[in-house]
């Protein structure tokens, strides 16, 4: 087991990573809450609730309520689900001393985190990520949100958990496609901040996952500690969006659900690498072939699976929530492991990159 800290002064918290740790970690924390007469609520997804009956049975003995989302996956990040969750917390008499445990992937973490941020103007919450993507990305850093029909993550809050408990044993039941999608985010960390991590992914089969998850969390924790609310003019937390501007456009134009988030990000990483080369920022021409090979190794796409219209993709990019004052911030590379942000990217070059990624006119 290994622990690192996300340092945010009084709001600092531990990120505990290990195998087979969830029961003991929760027992310790929940016992402390119980002794302090703090009511506990749990939120999870139907898939998790079905797979981990033993865990939820033991939680049922301590928690005031276990809320299972009405649907699995992205659809659970809805305002309707949020209202149901708020009402369930109220009916279970969760008071201001209450603690919400979010046990699941990024969907449960984002929904549960936003419910915790808003219920009674904020109750404590603990993230127990169960997908690779949630372990290396969404459970760390305090971004919480639900979706609107108008777009993903449009309503949310920066609200840090009190702890993150990442038990790698959960990954044994994770479907292969979801694991691959998480690897998309892992590759992202190598590309944006750690060439050595990228090389490790090239040289090994990521069999030794704990140090890899830890490294990703370290990179994210350092970035978030320095720029919690993504307000830095250059670089900062926006670096974590490497590949995401392309990726979000793919998810929107292909229709949500056609690509897993991490798959769309993978194509986006390729787009960002190619764009960086085309604009002359990356002199080393081996970067994009290496990105392509690494994505393929971890069963991730580096091109669109089916052609999508360039104009629709460009329009979706222009409406990304990262647009401010009418311009879009791009995250580009200078080399493997070294990313930066810029707004100075010609629209025509971006369209050419979309064509390279398999988009059509
Ligand atoms: P997810 O939460 O939908 O989980 C994927 C599927 O796997 C679900 O059906 C879930 O029930 C199932 N599942 C989860 N853990 C499992 C396990 N251990 N065994 C078997 N099945 C399991 O998807 P995700 O990829 O974890 O998260 C995607 C969400 O995360 C998106 O909504 C995205 O916007 C959000 N996100 C948030 C941040 C952030 O910083 N807050 C960062 C990245 C992504
Ligand atoms: N996943 C991007 C961020 O947390 O800022």
Compute, in angstroms, the gap from residue 266 CA to the centroid of ligand 1: 16
**Residue where a domain terminates, one of 150, 173, 196:** 173
Compute, in angstroms, the gap from residue 279 CA to the centroid of ligand 1: 34
Phi-psi label, residue 118: left if phi above 0, alpha if psi -120 to 50, beta otherwise: alpha
> Are 189 and 76 found together in one domain?
no
Residue ID of nearest Cα to ligand 1 atom 4: 105
Total of domains in the chain: 2
pLDDT of residue 284: 86
- From 137, 269, 321, 329, give the residue whose CB has the most ligand 2 atoms within 8 Å, as the site to mutate: 137
Can you give the CATH number for the domain in which 282 is found?
1.20.1090.10
Mean pLDDT of the chain: 96
> Are 87 and 163 found together in one domain?
yes
Other residues' Cβ atoms within 10 Å of the Cβ of residue 60: 12
The whole-angstrom separation of Cα 19 and Cα 207 is 13
pLDDT of residue 331: 97
Dump pLDDT digits (tens) for 148-186.
988 889 999 999 999 999 999 999 999 999 999 999 999
Give 152 or 112, the one with higher predicted confidence: 112
3-state DSSP call for residue 169? helix
- State what percent of residues in the chain have pLDDT above 90: 93
pLDDT of residue 150: 81
Q: Is residue 361 part of a domain?
A: no
Query: Residue 239's closest CA among 195, 192, 279?
Result: 192
Could you tell me if 144 and 114 are in contact, meaning their C-beta atoms sit under 8 angstroms apart?
yes
- State what percent of residues in the chain have pLDDT above 70: 98
pLDDT of residue 112: 98
| Tokens read off for 119 | 């219920």
Dump pLDDT digits (tens) for 304-357.
999 999 999 999 998 876 666 668 899 999 999 999 999 989 999 999 999 999
Compute, in angstroms, the gap from residue 347 CA to the centroid of ligand 1: 32
The whole-angstrom separation of Cα 324 and Cα 346 is 17
pLDDT of residue 319: 80
Give 326 or 240, the one with higher predicted confidence: 240
Cβ(240) – ligand 2 distance below 6 Å? yes
The 3-state DSSP composition of the chain as helix, strand, coil percent (nearest 5) reads 50, 20, 30
**Residue where a domain terminates, one of 173, 188, 213:** 173
Cβ(141) – ligand 2 distance below 6 Å? yes
> Are 212 and 311 found together in one domain?
yes
Compute, in angstroms, the gap from residue 244 CA to the centroid of ligand 2: 10
Catalytic residues: 121, 143, 185, 220, 230, 237, 241, 244, 248, 261
Q: Which domain holds residue 286?
A: 176-356
Could you tell me if 272 and 246 are in contact, meaning their C-beta atoms sit under 8 angstroms apart?
yes
What mean pLDDT do residues 84-109 have? 98
> Are 110 and 180 found together in one domain?
no
> Are 152 and 196 found together in one domain?
no
> Are 135 and 43 found together in one domain?
yes
List of long-range contacts for 253-258, beta carbons under 8 Å, 24+ apart: 253/308, 253/309, 253/312, 253/313, 253/316, 254/304, 254/306, 254/308, 256/74, 256/152, 257/73, 257/74
- From 105, 139, 143, 223, give the residue whose CB has the most ligand 2 atoms within 8 Å, as the site to mutate: 143
Compute, in angstroms, the gap from residue 60 CA to the centroid of ligand 2: 32
Dump pLDDT digits (tens) for 281-302.
998 889 999 999 999 999 999 9
| Tokens read off for 189 | 């960390």
Q: How many residues does the chain have?
A: 361
Band of pLDDT at residue 256, cut at 50, 70 and 90? confident
Pocket of ligand 1 (CB under 6 A): 45, 47-48, 51, 72-74, 77, 104-108, 110, 130-131, 133-134, 137-138, 141, 143, 152-153, 170, 173-174, 178, 181, 261
């Amino acid at each position: 087991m290994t622990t690192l800290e996300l340092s945010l002064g009084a709001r600092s918290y531990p990120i505990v990573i290990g195998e087979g740790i969830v029961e003991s970690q929760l027992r310790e924390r929940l016992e402390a809450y119980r002794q302090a007469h703090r009511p506990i609520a749990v939120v999870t997804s139907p898939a998790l609730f079905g797979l981990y009956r033993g865990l939820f049975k033991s939680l049922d003995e301590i928690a005031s309520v276990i809320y299972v989302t009405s649907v699995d996956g992205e659809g659970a990040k809805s305002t309707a689900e949020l209202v149901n969750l708020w009402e369930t917390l109220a009916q279970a008499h969760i008071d201001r001393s209450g603690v919400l445990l979010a046990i699941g992937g990024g969907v449960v973490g984002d929904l549960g985190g936003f419910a915790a941020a808003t219920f009674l103007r904020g109750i404590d919450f603990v993230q127990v990520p169960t997908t690779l993507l949630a372990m290396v990305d969404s459970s760390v850093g305090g971004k919480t949100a639900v979706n609107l029909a108008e777009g993903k993550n449009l309503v949310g809050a920066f609200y840090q958990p009190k702890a993150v408990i990442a038990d790698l044993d959960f990954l044994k039941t994770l479907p292969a496609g979801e694991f691959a999608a998480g690897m998309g985010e892992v590759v992202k960390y190598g590309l944006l901040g750690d060439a050595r991590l990228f090389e490790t992914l090239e040289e090994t089969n990521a069999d030794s996952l704990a140090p890899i998850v830890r490294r990703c969390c370290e990179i994210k924790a350092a970035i978030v500690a320095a720029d919690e609310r993504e307000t830095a003019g250059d670089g900062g937390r926006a670096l974590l969006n490497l590949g995401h501007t392309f990726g979000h456009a793919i998810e929107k134009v292909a229709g949500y659900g056609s690509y897993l988030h991490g798959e769309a990000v993978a194509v986006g990483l390729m787009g960002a690498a190619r764009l960086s080369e085309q604009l002359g920022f990356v002199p080393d021409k081996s970067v994009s072939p290496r990105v392509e090979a690494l994505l393929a190794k971890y069963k991730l796409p580096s091109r669109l699976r089916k052609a999508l219209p360039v104009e629709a993709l460009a329009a979706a990019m222009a409406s990304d929530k990262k647009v401010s004052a009418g311009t879009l911030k791009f995250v580009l590379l200078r080399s493997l492991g070294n990313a930066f942000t810029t707004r100075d990217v010609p629209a025509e070059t971006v369209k050419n990159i979309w064509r390279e990624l398999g988009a059509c006119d």
